[in-house]
Structure 1
Amino acid sequence: MNGVSIKYFVITIASIFVALGVGILIGFSLNSEKFVQKQFQQQLSLIDKNLVELKKENDRLVKKIDEYKSQINQLGKINDTLVNAYLKTCKSNAVVSLIVTSTDYSYNDLIDFLRKNQIKLARIVKIKRAFVDVLNNKTSDFPEYKLPEDAINTLMLYAVFDMKDDLITKLTEKRYIEINRLSGEIADTILIAGGNTLQNDTFNAVDRRFIEKLKNINDLNIVGVEQSYSELNYCEKYKSMGLDTVDNVDDLTGKVSLIELIRGGNGNYGTKKEANLLMPNTFTSIEVSENSLKKRRESLLEQYQNIQATNVMP
């Protein structure tokens, strides 16, 4: 009997402890749930507060951006006004020929700009990619000519003096070049429009040869230009050959710099490492520009007459 009583007592005590444990566990779980809910609500409240602050900051920044946009628009209008005033005041009677050596980028916007601002365009020569084969004597289309010398000479004489021969005609017909003759005037300024992608560096094959030949013409104004997004910086190479340059001719500041160089100014302008200034900080006076242009024209006319008389190229 005593053994049964003790066994029953032990089971009873164990049951009590199990019940207490279960109760404690349930109580702890209930308290934990309330704790988690409380923490979750606090986090939600904090997030909501932060969202309100972020919305206020976003509204402030949007307002600031609108203010900056308005200022930029105003500055753009002011710049346009100043540039238009400069172009009207500092007109140039220079005659320009454009040689586009780049085969990756278009310069139609530049041509439109020059025409819009009454810069006299005499001739436009666009070099095609296949022309490199002509210069490297890798074509059988011109057996009667000495290449590359004859090809460079004939294009130089055409661009500057409007002297056209059979080779120009053949190069055009076979689509090695594209030409557009706008007037028969002697060009006192030559623009070399270069720049290419990394996969198409033709500077030594094309540009260098043109520049070396053009520099033999006394008093000729030669300017090298490229666009700001050109992968290869041709203006750095133009500068090394002694040319005035504009490496951002697609931008407003670049266009102003170009006009100043056409008027007889000097310098290397733009945004790349070869540039000394973004744009000119002083401008050539009308009197100095006209005197410089007069000297160039007289010299070029004399050289043109000598070429015709002696049939000897510079």
Structure 2
Amino acid sequence: MRYYIVSIASIFLSLAIGIFIGFNMNGNDIYVTQQQELINSLERRFDNFKAENDALENKIQNLSHLNEKQNILIENIVEDVVYKKLQGMNVAIIETTDNYFYVDLKDILASSGANIPVTIQYLNKAFRINGEELREINELFRLNLQTTEDMIYFINNEITNFLLKKEITAVFQYLITKEYIHCNLPYENLEGIGIDRIIVAGGSNENLNNKIEKLEVNLIKRLDNLNFKVIGVERLDVENSFIANLKKIKIPTIDNVNTRIGQVSLIYVLLGAEGHYGEKATADSLIPFYSMQQVRGEFVE
């Protein structure tokens, strides 16, 4: 009896082992099949991604070629578009930074027939004045300047006074001599300076504490209070833009004045178009969409 029980137990044990082995073999087959399906799925997705990437690269290349052609077209027609549009207009330029060059700004104004009787540039020294330099200024002109902000307000005041009165005071000459500002002026005929528009060109490659509010906003408010017509411009590549601040004080702005499109926008704005133009998030439109006859307040000599 004991023998039969052992035999039966052995049979059931063998059957259990056989079932277990068979299940594992089937499980391995299922696992292998799943892995193969996953690999096939990844390969299909990779092929799809590659096809999409190739299509995007072709699209980018086509857009690049189209953009290149458009730039060539714009470059060839800009001079004709702006030619003598500002004939007889006197435009002063104030650059609030020496981190960026605005030579092309002067070139397009010259092409449009505008006169540039005054250019003034703030130099970096004005933003890094030290205690000894402040003491010297205070002693010479009986002032009480304490901080860099005081110095900026002081320079703003002297520049606006010069533009209003057309006089080079001892203080203004000191600022030039000590290289706080740089000026190109018709010294032989200061009284004959006429100013129809003022362009304030700014932007900075560093985030100086409250520079925009202390310098550009304060300066423009002073000029506006004196009834000067002011336009704010900057290059497309400035690291710290001041356009958002200028929009709050409601003057026209252009954020890409180093481009041909931005320069055409400038001509329209100088003729009287209002708004904020360029390629940044602060722009309302790429360019003023007016004919020259539609521009409000068109300049008349």
- Residues 70 and 291 (structure 1), Cα distance of their counterparts in 2 relative to 1, 3 Å cut: closer
Q: Hey, what's the Cα distance between the residues in 2 that align with 1:171 and 1:9? A: 118
Task: Indicate whether 1:268 and 2:275 are aligned.
Answer: yes
- Residues 213 and 44 (structure 1), Cα distance of their counterparts in 2 relative to 1, 3 Å cut: closer
Give per-residue Cα distances to partners, 1:33-76, cap 9 Å, x unaligned: 22322333333333333333333333333323322222332333
Q: Hey, what's the Cα distance between the residues in 2 that align with 1:273 and 1:52? A: 37
Counterpart among 258, 273, 278 of residue 266 in structure 2: 258
Task: Indicate whether 1:235 and 2:246 are aligned.
Answer: yes
Give per-residue Cα distances to partners, 1:7-40, cap 9 Å, x unaligned: 2222222222222222222222222222322333
Counterpart among 169, 173, 198 of residue 169 in structure 1: 173
Gaps of 5+ in 2: 144-149
Task: Indicate whether 1:201 and 2:210 are aligned.
Answer: yes
- Residues 89 and 77 (structure 1), Cα distance of their counterparts in 2 relative to 1, 3 Å cut: farther
Counterpart among 103, 106, 109 of residue 111 in structure 1: 103
- Alignment correspondent of 1:246: 254
Q: Hey, what's the Cα distance between the residues in 1 that align with 2:66 and 2:269? A: 30
Give per-residue Cα distances to partners, 1:114-162, cap 9 Å, x unaligned: 235525433322224665799xxx9331445476898556433545776
- Residues 146 and 80 (structure 1), Cα distance of their counterparts in 2 relative to 1, 3 Å cut: farther
Q: How high is the sequence identity, in percent, across the aligned residues?
A: 24
Q: Hey, what's the Cα distance between the residues in 2 that align with 1:277 and 1:62? A: 28
- Residues 290 and 92 (structure 1), Cα distance of their counterparts in 2 relative to 1, 3 Å cut: farther
Task: Indicate whether 1:22 and 2:17 are aligned.
Answer: yes
Q: Hey, what's the Cα distance between the residues in 1 that align with 2:233 and 2:283? A: 12
In 1, are the aligned partners of 2:117 and 2:186 still within 8 Å (CA)? yes
1:260 maps to amino acid? Y
- Residues 274 and 133 (structure 1), Cα distance of their counterparts in 2 relative to 1, 3 Å cut: same
Q: Hey, what's the Cα distance between the residues in 1 that align with 2:40 and 2:140? A: 89
Highest CA radius of gyration, 1 or 2?
A: 1
Report the alpha carbon displacement of residue 86 of structure 1 after superposing the two structures with TM: 0.8
Figure out how many residues of one structure are paired with residues of the other and give that number: 275
Report the alpha carbon displacement of residue 107 of structure 1 after superposing the two structures with TM: 4.1
- Residues 62 and 157 (structure 1), Cα distance of their counterparts in 2 relative to 1, 3 Å cut: same
- Residues 146 and 36 (structure 1), Cα distance of their counterparts in 2 relative to 1, 3 Å cut: same
- SS at 2:134 equivalent: coil
- Alignment correspondent of 2:182: 178
Stretch of structure 1 that moved more, 37-46 or 268-277? 268-277
Give the 5 Å matches for 1:48-127.
48-88=43-83, 90=85, 92-101=87-96, 103=97, 106-108=99-101, 110-115=102-107, 118=110, 119-127=114-122
- SS at 1:34 equivalent: helix
Give per-residue Cα distances to partners, 1:276-301, cap 9 Å, x unaligned: 6543222446xx99972x3xxxxxxx
1:111 maps to amino acid? V
- Alignment correspondent of 2:198: 190
- SS at 2:118 equivalent: strand
In 2, are the aligned partners of 1:160 and 1:187 still within 8 Å (CA)? no
2:246 maps to amino acid? C
Q: Hey, what's the Cα distance between the residues in 1 that align with 2:173 and 2:60? A: 56
- SS at 1:179 equivalent: strand
Gaps of 5+ in 1: 1-5, 295-314
1:163 maps to amino acid? E
Q: Hey, what's the Cα distance between the residues in 1 that align with 2:157 and 2:17? A: 105
TM-score (normalizing by structure 2):
0.70
In 2, are the aligned partners of 1:152 and 1:210 still within 8 Å (CA)? yes
- SS at 1:224 equivalent: strand
2:87 maps to amino acid? S
2:99 maps to amino acid? S
- Alignment correspondent of 1:35: 30
